[in-house]
Structure formats: C-alpha cells, structure tokens
Structure 1
Amino acid sequence: MLKKLIWNDVKQNKLMSTATVFFMAISAALLTLTVLLSGNLLGAINTLMDSAGVPDFIQMHTGAVEEAEFTRFAESCAEVQDWQICRFLNLDNSNVALDGQSLIDSTQDNGLCVQGERFDFLLGMDGACPQILPGEVYVPICYRDRYGLAAGSTMTIGGQTLTVAGFIRDAQMNSMMASSKRFLVSAADYALLRGQGEEEYLIEFLLRDGADMNIFQTAYTASSLPANGPTITRPLVRMMNALSDGTMIFVIFLMSIIVLLISMLCIHFILSLQMERDRKEVGMLKALGIGRKEIRRLYFAKYLLFSLCGAFIGLGTAAIPQKPLVRQLQELYGTTDQGTWKTLAALLAALLAEGIILLSIRHSLKKTDKLSALSAMFQMQRGDKGYGKYLLIGFVTAACTFLMLVPQNLYNTVSSPKFVTYMGIGSAEIRIDVRQIKDIDSMTAQIATALGQDPQVKEYTTLQTCSYPAALPDGGTVNLTVETGDHSIFPVSFSAGILPTGENEIALSSLNAEELKLSVGDTLDLNVNGKKSGYTVCGIYSDITNGGKTAKIRNRPDTAPVIWSVLYASLEESTDKEQWMAKYRGTGVDVTDVEDYVRDTYAQTLVQLRLASRVAGGIAVLVTAVVLTLFLRLIVERERYAISLRKALGFTSGTIKRIYFTKGLVPAVLGIVAGLTLGHLCGESLCGMVLKSLGADSFRFVINWGQVMAGIPIVILGAAILAVWAGISQIGQIKAYECCRGKE
C-alpha cells in the first residue's frame, strides 16, 4: 500500500520527478565523461610509450661522440639495462616542403632519422614499425591534417624528393610542446641527405626495473660523458603528451564538480517542497504507527529508483560527446584495449555521482524524523518569505557563469602572445633561433650586429644557452641548462625575487628550484672552468619549455660551447613584419613570429580547450535554463493560493507576472555578477594550480574584456530571462476562485 502511495506520488509530480532525474543524469554524464577521457588518454599514452619502447633517460648532444665511452659507462652502471645512440639530422626549415608547402614558418626543429635498433621505435598507424623503402618518408601524424597530406604526397629536402608512404606516431615527440619532429627515412636516404643539415645525437638509456633515476643521473654527470643538450626523462615525455589534452579533461572535470554541486542543491530544494506538500501524509503514516525509518526508507526508495535511471541515462549521454572528444587522442596516440576496465570505470564514475547525491538526500530526509504526527497533520504553513529559493537561483546563475567564464579565460590566456612569459620567454614580437650551425657564436654576433644597426628594430636582446654541472644538495651533480644574456629587455614572469643583474646571481625556473630545494637568497654552486663558483638565487620564474628546468644568468662566465642562441626583437609599428622576417631568414637562421610560436606550440591544447569551452558554455546555458524554469514553476505552484488571492483582489495576470519576473531575474543578475567575480579570483587560482605543476608559476588570466563584460553576461542573462518567463507562464492559468477552496 505504502509503495503504491509513493508510485502515485511520482505520477502526480511528473515535473519534480523529471527534474530530479535530469540533475542526476547530467551529473553522472559529466563525471563519467571525465573518467572515460582520462582513461582513454592515459591508457593510449602508456600503450604507445610501451610499444615504442620510450627510453627512461635521453641526453641530447651536438658534436662528436665516442661509443666506446658509453659502452664502458653502461657496463659499470648497475642501473643500465640497455642503451643506444640515435642520430637526428636537423634540417633547415627553409629547404623543406611538404606537398609544395614550405616549412619556413614552422616553429619546430624538423629532422630526419632512421628506425631505432632496439627501442625508441617510430610506429605506423597500425601500431607496428613500418617497413620503409628508399625514396619513401613517414611523416609525423600531427602534420597530416595541418598540411593536408596523404599517402603519395611528397616531401622535398633541398633538391631531393621523397614520397610520403604513411604517417608515424612518435611517442617522444608527438606533442607540439616537444620542440622537435622526426621524419622516418631509410638508412640509404639518411646517408644521401646527410649534407642537408646538422647532425644531433640522442643518447638513450633503458634502466632496470626499480632503478633510481637520481642515482643514474648523478653517475652520468660524474662520468663527464657528452651532455651539451637538454636532458629528457620518461616521466617528462609522458607529461608533455598528457598536457595538451589533459587541459581539456581538467575543464570537463571542473564542469562535473560544479554541476554536481548544483544538482545536489536543486534536488534538496525539490525534496524540501515535496516534504512540505506531503506533511499531512507523513503525519498520517506516523499516526498509523509506521516508524520514521520506514517512512524515510520509502521516500529514499523513490530517489534510489531515480538515481538508477539517472545513472543509465548519464552513461548513454556520456558516450555521445566522447567520440568526437577522443578522435584527436586516438589519432595522436592510437587506441588502447581497455575492455572491461573501461566499462567498469565508467559505471563506477556514474555510481559515485549518484552516491554523492543520494547521501545528500538521505541527510535531508532525516529532518522528517523530528516531525511528530500531530504537528505534521495540523501545523499551519510557516510564514517565511521564501528568500532561500531566490538565493538558490542566484547561486545557480553564479555557478553557471563561473562554468562558462573559466574555460574561456583559460583558452584566451593560452592563445595570447603574452602567455610566452610563462614559457620562459619574454614578450617580444620576433624570435630568431641560431641552431645546427657549425659556428653558432659567429652567426649570433652577425645577427646581433645587424639588429643593432637596423632602424626598423625597436629593441632586441641576445641570449645564449650553455650547460653547466650544478651541485645537488645530496652531494651529486646535475647538468643545468643556463641561458645567459640581458634578461631585462624582455623579462619573463617571476613568482619570487627579481631577474639576474649581478655577476654571481642566478634565476631558477620554478621546477628547478623545487627539485634543487632552493629559494631566493640560497646559494647554488656551478662548475665553471673546472672550478666551483657560487651563485646566489635572485629569483624564481615560470618556464614550461625544455621540461621546465632552466636557469638564467647575466654574463656568460667562460668559453663553454653554446648549445644554441636565441635573439628576441620588437619592431617599429611601421615595419612590414613579413618582409622583415623574410630578409633575416635569408641569413640561414629560423625567424618566427612569437604569436605563431605560441600558437604552434599549443596547437593541440588550443583545439581541445576551444572544444571544452564550447561544451562548458552549452552546459552552462542548459543548466541555467532548466533550473530557472523549474524553480519558477515550483515557486508559482507553491504560491498558487497567494496568486489566486491576488487575482480575487483585482490584480491582473500581467501585474502578477511582472512581480514574479522581477523576483526571479534580480537574483539571476546578482548571480551573474558574483560568478564573474569568482571566475576571476578562484578560477585563476584553480588553473594556476594545474599549470604550476608544469612550471608555469605566478599565473594570471589574459582577459578578453569584451567577452567578460558583454558576451558571457548577455548569453547567461538571455537564457535566464527566457527561463524565468517560461517558469511564470503558468500564472495565467491560475483562477481567482481557487483561493475560495482554502489551502491544501
């Protein structure tokens, strides 16, 4: 009998039931989507890295190497399982074209390589090592869509033409955040084209299971083996691969948390209205001797049924956006056979969302325990003014505004040229790279002289990068990539301290400072000219290039070989930038527009962030519309007697609608203002926490004020206006004579 009463209650309150299932479904869908995307990304990356045999330690080096030295080191180091030296032929981008499209504007270091002998394999789209023939080339998969390539397209290097036989996934350099891209050719073609570029070596080591990376790195540095380039580790490779698409997943996770919170509050409001309506029925049940736990269990059973429906609807809904969102993941990293794990993880995510909501419902239902049978049956309606429900409208619009604003601000920030200050690069207009040249010092001096005499150049600076051994706190050493030059012209973002100006001052990237356990004012010993030189840490800055582990000093302390040089410049406003860049490219160096550099480096991230921001915007508008429509309809229904009484006293439907329209819209407007404020304060901190783990400290949003002050508020306010109007439309159907029946 009691179950029948509950079932009849569901049928009589279809709006409340439908709304409850909606909130449960959308909460389950977003959390499930987060888990599915995370599983796809991490699973595909791990599968690709394992299949490709990514080394645990990679030391890049330009210059001669003696394999006998590495053989002796590997035999003496217990951590080493296997090792190899891979050659990478750096090409001049101005001499390379894909299907007739020059790579002169590419910000990547493009080069040729042959297949790894024992590990570090470049895999075809089928996950196997391609069998490459002379005259063929396999192109990085990230270039396929960018240049509109297909099997049979051509790659021109100088006067040589190769046929594109297919595309490869490079577990090391798949991400656009990796500054180099490898093209796979046959050994015969590599030897033929060797004169087209400067050869670089990737010295790679596989370590034994359980080996301590720090012990190995200390041993490698102490052995004085070649190490004038960046050092890359397997965790760093995984991080770079995950960062591009992981940012999108972070945004969706943020959406799921906000929507879950909104759902809990909305369902609590619906349940409160339901319990107020059922006050007499609950009192009657108690008068009949039915225990409070049994009553609570019966109501809970209804919501348990709703949660099961919500979970299954959420699972089905999550599968719809999953396919387009994982398309790029599968292209870059391949697919992974997750099988039962994937289904189980999705189911657990949906159940977790429903479990959290059910716990909040259970807590709310306990309020019925305090209600006696007599007070439930005869207590008069409380005379509260119902401000709580209007505050809830304000909270929902604030949360939805926050949800729409933060992903958009994050996208605007990463796509802005100013974001380079978090990459360890000053906010210049032009970047000139001097690499893969036999006499880097001489070429750098020539370019610097030309810039100094160029009337179109407003200001410029020359920065040269060397590698120095640095002492670790535990007594070991590590090679530190140090950039020397005047850093005050185009300063980067500092989270603590200032840039180096004195002879013995050094600034560290945030990740280096964390790893070396140093802060501003501490001393770091560098091995310069065979002697220890003490440098005072003057500042800590943001940097997410070169693995986020760099350092900056003012003056180059010795004649250590320069790994590469970078010159930054800003131009006079009247300068034709394209012509200017073309002129300097003629000197044989890479010249890049910094805005293009950022766009290329974060191309994958920006695509996914744009998609995630659009999804977040759509969900924010949907939730705003549904919640406000629902709340206003429930408020009108709850106050049906008062509305009928007003009509009996002579008020028209239009007048009453205007009153309720104002009541519904004012908290929505206040919520939009609160959401914009929280989005700037809390949203910036949330995104900063994620980027800080990658080396981007002291993060600040780059704000598009047109979107903030007009675009986003207009969209949310438009949805709120339509929703409020739809919610109060029922007022016209309420009759004046209904109040004569008395309150139910």
Structure 2
Amino acid sequence: MLVAILVAMVAALVAAVGALTVRLAIRTAVAADLSQIGAMKAVGLPVTWIRRAYLTKYLLLAVLGAALGAGLAPVLQGPLTRGALLEIGSPTSNAATVVAWIGAAVVVAAGSVAFCWWLLRPVSRIPALAAMRATTATRRPWLWRWRLSRSRLPATTWLGLRSASTPGQIGLVLVFALLALMCFLPAQVATTMRAPGFVTYLGIGRSDALIETRDAGTARTLDSRLASDPAIARRAAFTQIRGQVKTPDGWEQVPVDLGDHAAFPLQYADGGAPTSRDEVAVSYRVASEREVGVGDQVMFRDALGERPLRVSGVYQDITNGGRTAKGVWQVPDEQVVGWTHAILLAPNVDRAATVARWHEQFPGAVILGVDDVSRQTMGSVLDNLDLLVRAAIVLAGVVTLGLTALFLHLVLATGAGEWAVLRGIGVSDGRLRRTFNVRYLALLACGLLAGAIIAALTGRFLVAPAAGAFLGAPGLQLQGMPWLAALSLPLVLASAVVTGSALGSTHLQHLSVRSVTEE
C-alpha cells in the first residue's frame, strides 16, 4: 500500500511536469513562428485555421506518445509487478489489463489534445503587425536595479543571474521543484524503512535479535538452550496464533502475538501492554476501524472460544494491513503457527559471533538482527522503492535536459535581437553559453531548494496522515534526506542542464544583427 501511495504521488507529479512541458513547448513553437503567424493573420486566414494547423501536429505527437507508452507497458509490467504478484497471485485473465492499457492511452492522447487546444487560445490575441515584426513584450527582471558596474562578478555570471530573475522563469523553477520532490520523497521513505527505529512501526519491541521458527520441536529446543545461554541478558518468548475480532459484518481474522510484552515494550500511542488474560492490545487500524480505545471491550474469538476482552493499549503496526493484536493468554501448541524469541544480549558480547553460533546450533530457525528485521519484513517494498527512486532520477534528468533545450530555444527566439547585438559587439559564443549555464543552474538550485522544503513539509503533513489512514502508523516520521539522493540528483540534473544548454544554443551561431534586421 505504501508503494502504491508513492507511485500515485509520483504519477501525479509526472502529470504536472508533463502539463508544464507541453505549455512550454507550445510557447516555444508560437514564439519561433511569430512572423509566420502574423503573415497568416494579415492575409485574412481565420484564427481557427491557424490553431488547427498547430493542433494537427500535436495530435500526431500525442498519438505517437500514447502508442509508445502502451507498447512499453507490457515490457515494464513484469519488473514492476513481480513482487506484488508473488503475494496476491497472477490474474486469471489479461483482458482487463489490455483494456486498461488502451483506455489509458486514449485518455492521455485526448487530454493532451484538449490541453493543447486550450493553450493555443492566445494566438487570437497576437496583433498581426507585432507578430510580423516578430516582437513580444519583455518583462523587467526583479534584479533590474543590479548594475554590472556595482558587481564584482564576471560579466557572464552577472548577466546569467540577472536574466534568471525575470518573472517568466518561475515556471521552470516550479518544474525543477516538482522533479526534486518526485525523487526526494520516495528516497526519504526508503531511508526511513531502513532505519533501526523503523521496527517500532512493525509491532515489534526493540531488541538485539529475534529467533523465529514454525516447528514445535525446534521451539522446545530453543527454550531449553537459550535459558542457559550466558550471552543473553534478557529474553522473552512469544507465540503467534490466528484470532478473530468481531466486526459489524461478522468476524475478521487478525494475527495475534502472545507472551510477556512488558519485557520488550512497544511504543504505544495510548495505554500499555496487556497484563492479564482478559486484556488485549490492538493496532491503531483495528482500534480506529472499530472506534474503540483504551478501556473499551472488543469481542474476540480463538481456540479458547468467543469472549470479550478489554483494550489495554493501542500501538502502531503496518504489517498485515495494519491489523494485529497482542495478548498474554496461552493456547495449545496445535493452534500455534509460529514461535519467536526476542533477545537482549549481555554487555560486551560479540553480536556477530553469537548470531553465527546460533545459526550452527539452530539450523531450523530464522535468526534476525535488529537491523535485518525491516529488510526481512519489507524486503520487496524496499526493492520497489529503490527501483522507483532510480526511475524517478533518470526521468528527472531526461525531462531537465529537454526542458532546458526548449526553454533556451524560446529565449533565443523571443530575444534574438538582444543576443545578436551581444555577438555583434564581440561577445563570443562560449561566453554566451556560460551565461546560459549560469542562468539555468541558478534556476535549478532554487528549484532543488524549494523541492527539498516541499518534500520535508509533504512528509510531515501528507505522508504521515496517509500512513495513519491506510497503514496504521499515524506517527510515522520520515528520516532526513539520504546522502546518495541528495548528491546524485543535483549532479544528474546539473549535467542535464549543461547538456540541454549546449543543445539549445546550437542556433546561436546563426544569430547576427543583419539576419535579425532582415527578418
């Protein structure tokens, strides 16, 4: 569920970035063809015909893009759904999947065409004379009072920073911020799930090691040998059973851990561990769905029969869909589905050597260190999150490269006279390209900073409530930004900006005062 929430958020961000990209592409095309649009309007060609000419091009692009996406869907389906299919099984029929692919392609293509038609409305408001002269109104930058004579920066750096402050650059900063959010948020979740403290959200008390088995004979051997092991400072044995909790629609099955939960206490949102046979601690989602709290009663049924139990505490747990329970009563071994020993090692004990010794002594048991619990429990989720982060970083790099090239093409199309004058007075193309690099790297830095702030706020005010509503962990606190994502994403995007700037400025060498004047 957590991966599904993140994938939905990333998909929404990709859609927003796509909409901004389409808007920029149309603005670039209109700016580049401004004189042709003016000529067509001057000879009396209806505006609807002009818009249809552009719309035909974008219709073909939308159909090709949707077809490409529908073709890639079967290729990517296997790697992206392999972990989920292992848990829920393969569908009996692929007809619904094929219909979903085709339907999504049709919706995306139709939505793109409608959005393009809406974006082409300003064509009707362009004056014919101004369009034929290929001139557009320029907006004063925010740093217009910052003079080169008052700055100690090189001229190229000053010009790049000053041009980056024009109001029209906000859209690009917004895109960079959304791309950063798209990468940072899944990376934060993955880092949180790898942290040692994440076991508190798995319904497990903090310990040094866990030994698990599903064999009754191995469980008895563990009881006898661990009781006299000098490496153990404290130990608690738990049994797992299948119980049922009464709901308005019947009975719902939940896994129950039985044992001394005070030995390795959980972090309870309310109340505490059960201490008697007529008490039960329930997970947050069980309590919220049944609207019960500490002191209330729930009807419970297991091998001992149906009986009311008083709720002693409510804890956070995202395992089993967020629906679990804890108790202290005992049931016959025939009703037990698993045995677990939570262990706190004595001081100055070599943990690695002790765990290796236990592996030799108890080959039929699963021995986990506290750092391995999250990986063992959430292994497939972590793998999917890592794949999502890598895909998001690659997608962000590709989008950044294309957007930088498009934006620079728009800048050169609308400000051709300014750049031609600079070339005419002797400014080299290399210096102008450095100006472009400074401009877009400054915008990228602002976007990354804004994205990091938005990711922190989103994790606090959106991910945590979603975790409480869908997973049963309302107190989930995301860890800080992982250093790998914090370093790799800026490097990838900065490289994409420099490459996109080089590609977008290839037309620069053809600009001259004479050519601009003739046009």
Q: TM-score range by the shorter chain?
A: 0.7 to 0.9
Aligned to 1:629: 405
Correspondence for 1:550 among 318, 324, 333: 324
Shift of 1:506: 4.3
Aligned to 1:689: 466
Q: Deviations over 1:687-735 (max 9, x none)?
A: 9737953545533334563214323333333333333344345545533
Seen in structure 2, the aligned counterparts of structure 1 residues 588 and 600 have a Cα distance that, compared at 3 Å, is closer
Seen in structure 2, the aligned counterparts of structure 1 residues 472 and 737 have a Cα distance that, compared at 3 Å, is closer
5 Å matches for 1:100-249? Answer: 247=3
**One-letter code of the match for 2:361?**
G
Shift of 1:669: 1.0
Aligned to 1:265: 20
- Give the conservation status (yes or no) of the 8 Å contact 1:632–1:664: no
Aligned to 2:205: 426
> Following the alignment from structure 1 to structure 2, what is the Cα–Cα distance between the partners of residues 534 and 326?
40
Aligned to 1:663: 439
**One-letter code of the match for 1:450?**
S
Q: Does residue 304 of the first structure (1) align with residue 83 of the second (2)?
A: no
Correspondence for 1:400 among 179, 197, 200: 179
Seen in structure 2, the aligned counterparts of structure 1 residues 604 and 672 have a Cα distance that, compared at 3 Å, is same
Aligned to 1:450: 228
Shift of 1:464: 4.5
Correspondence for 1:569 among 335, 343, 355: 343
- Give the conservation status (yes or no) of the 8 Å contact 2:280–2:326: yes
**One-letter code of the match for 2:272?**
L
Q: Deviations over 1:491-531 (max 9, x none)?
A: 5465x425337667643113322442324564435689889
Structure 1: gaps of 5 or more residues: 1-242
Correspondence for 2:316 among 534, 537, 541: 541
> Following the alignment from structure 2 to structure 1, what is the Cα–Cα distance between the partners of residues 181 and 209?
35
Correspondence for 1:383 among 119, 138, 150: 138
Aligned to 1:709: 486
5 Å matches for 1:212-361? Answer: 247=3, 254-279=9-34, 281-286=36-41, 288-322=43-77, 325=80, 333=89, 337-338=93-94, 341-361=96-116
Aligned to 1:100: none
> Following the alignment from structure 1 to structure 2, what is the Cα–Cα distance between the partners of residues 655 and 568?
66
More helix by share: 2
Q: Does residue 409 of the first structure (1) align with residue 165 of the second (2)?
A: no
Q: Deviations over 1:374-412 (max 9, x none)?
A: 676689631314734422332222222223333333444
> Following the alignment from structure 1 to structure 2, what is the Cα–Cα distance between the partners of residues 469 and 404?
41
- Which SS does the other structure have where 1:568 is aligned? strand
- Which SS does the other structure have where 1:450 is aligned? coil
> Following the alignment from structure 2 to structure 1, what is the Cα–Cα distance between the partners of residues 301 and 70?
58
- Which SS does the other structure have where 2:100 is aligned? helix
Aligned to 2:151: none
Seen in structure 2, the aligned counterparts of structure 1 residues 498 and 654 have a Cα distance that, compared at 3 Å, is farther
Q: Deviations over 1:149-181 (max 9, x none)?
A: xxxxxxxxxxxxxxxxxxxxxxxxxxxxxxxxx
- Give the conservation status (yes or no) of the 8 Å contact 1:394–1:671: yes
- Give the conservation status (yes or no) of the 8 Å contact 1:493–1:698: no
**One-letter code of the match for 2:199?**
V
> Following the alignment from structure 1 to structure 2, what is the Cα–Cα distance between the partners of residues 531 and 410?
40
User: Normalization by structure 1: what TM-score?
Assistant: 0.56
- Give the conservation status (yes or no) of the 8 Å contact 2:214–2:339: yes
- Give the conservation status (yes or no) of the 8 Å contact 1:397–1:672: yes
**One-letter code of the match for 1:424?**
G
- Give the conservation status (yes or no) of the 8 Å contact 1:524–1:537: no
Seen in structure 2, the aligned counterparts of structure 1 residues 485 and 412 have a Cα distance that, compared at 3 Å, is same
**One-letter code of the match for 1:590?**
A
Shift of 1:635: 1.6
> Following the alignment from structure 1 to structure 2, what is the Cα–Cα distance between the partners of residues 287 and 625?
37
Correspondence for 1:437 among 196, 216, 220: 216
Shift of 1:258: 2.5
Correspondence for 1:497 among 266, 270, 290: 270
- Give the conservation status (yes or no) of the 8 Å contact 1:487–1:499: no
> Following the alignment from structure 1 to structure 2, what is the Cα–Cα distance between the partners of residues 282 and 419?
60
By relative contact order (CA 8 Å, sep 6+), the higher-ranking structure is 2
Shift of 1:544: 0.8
- Which SS does the other structure have where 2:120 is aligned? helix
Seen in structure 2, the aligned counterparts of structure 1 residues 415 and 358 have a Cα distance that, compared at 3 Å, is same
**One-letter code of the match for 1:637?**
A
Seen in structure 2, the aligned counterparts of structure 1 residues 256 and 355 have a Cα distance that, compared at 3 Å, is farther
User: Quick check: 496-505 or 655-664, which moved more?
Assistant: 496-505
Seen in structure 2, the aligned counterparts of structure 1 residues 307 and 421 have a Cα distance that, compared at 3 Å, is same
**One-letter code of the match for 2:204?**
I
**One-letter code of the match for 2:12?**
I
Correspondence for 1:366 among 109, 116, 121: 121
- Give the conservation status (yes or no) of the 8 Å contact 1:526–1:534: yes
Seen in structure 2, the aligned counterparts of structure 1 residues 560 and 416 have a Cα distance that, compared at 3 Å, is same
Q: Does residue 615 of the first structure (1) align with residue 388 of the second (2)?
A: no
Q: State the Cα RMSD in Å.
A: 4.1
> Following the alignment from structure 1 to structure 2, what is the Cα–Cα distance between the partners of residues 328 and 502?
39
Aligned to 2:158: none
Shift of 1:477: 6.2
**One-letter code of the match for 1:500?**
A
5 Å matches for 1:49-128? Answer: none
**One-letter code of the match for 1:296?**
R
Seen in structure 2, the aligned counterparts of structure 1 residues 286 and 482 have a Cα distance that, compared at 3 Å, is same
Aligned to 1:735: 512
User: Normalization by structure 2: what TM-score?
Assistant: 0.76
Seen in structure 2, the aligned counterparts of structure 1 residues 731 and 497 have a Cα distance that, compared at 3 Å, is farther
- Give the conservation status (yes or no) of the 8 Å contact 2:267–2:316: yes
Seen in structure 2, the aligned counterparts of structure 1 residues 591 and 255 have a Cα distance that, compared at 3 Å, is closer
> Following the alignment from structure 1 to structure 2, what is the Cα–Cα distance between the partners of residues 531 and 306?
64
Aligned to 2:417: 641
Q: Deviations over 1:617-671 (max 9, x none)?
A: 2222222222223322332333221011123344443443333322111010111
**One-letter code of the match for 1:390?**
Q
Structure 2: gaps of 5 or more residues: 142-165
> Following the alignment from structure 1 to structure 2, what is the Cα–Cα distance between the partners of residues 491 and 688?
24
- Give the conservation status (yes or no) of the 8 Å contact 2:238–2:260: yes
Correspondence for 2:291 among 501, 507, 517: 517
Aligned to 1:721: 498
Q: Deviations over 1:249-271 (max 9, x none)?
A: 76655444333321211221222
